[in-house]
Copies of this chain bind each other. A is one copy, B any other.
Amino acid sequence: MKTMYKEHTLTKNQQIIFDLIDKSPEPMKAYSILFNVQKKGIKAPLQVYRALDKLVKMGKIHKIESRNAFIACQNSSCQVSKATAFSICEMCEKITEISSSSLSKYLANFKDKDGMKYSKYNLEFFGLCKKCR
């Protein structure tokens, strides 16, 4: 019989930081997060980075690697937290999570020349968004 484990309930710091990122219209950087949560008692970078690490692992947020910024998952707690795709506007920096089953299928099934498959990936598309075209 399988042991039951607790659901992923967020801890205090995790919840504070997730809420902030989740209601932000754009990805947030770690030190901007820090500045915004200082009034809630989170005073040190490490407290922020630790919460970010966990939230990323849970798939609640994703890191935009090319921007060192964090965005809440747009796919209602991404089942595919390990398989992320974003579009990034190079003009206004608008960043959107892409949710395309054909894309995720293609990438999950992609084999390199050694026949190797990868279930985990991060894809960042760059271009101009609708507004900026």
Interface residues of A (CB under 8 A from B): 65-66, 82, 87, 96, 98, 100, 103, 106-107, 110, 112-114, 116-127, 129-130
Pick the contact of A121: B110, B120, B124 (CB < 8 A). Answer: B124
What are 28 contact pairs spanning A and B, CB under 8 A?
Answer: A65-B65, A65-B124, A66-B122, A87-B116, A87-B118, A96-B112, A98-B112, A100-B112, A100-B113, A103-B110, A106-B106, A107-B123, A110-B125, A112-B125, A114-B130, A116-B127, A116-B129, A116-B130, A118-B125, A119-B127, A120-B125, A120-B126, A121-B123, A121-B124, A121-B126, A122-B123, A122-B124, A122-B126
Copies of this protein chain in the complex: 2
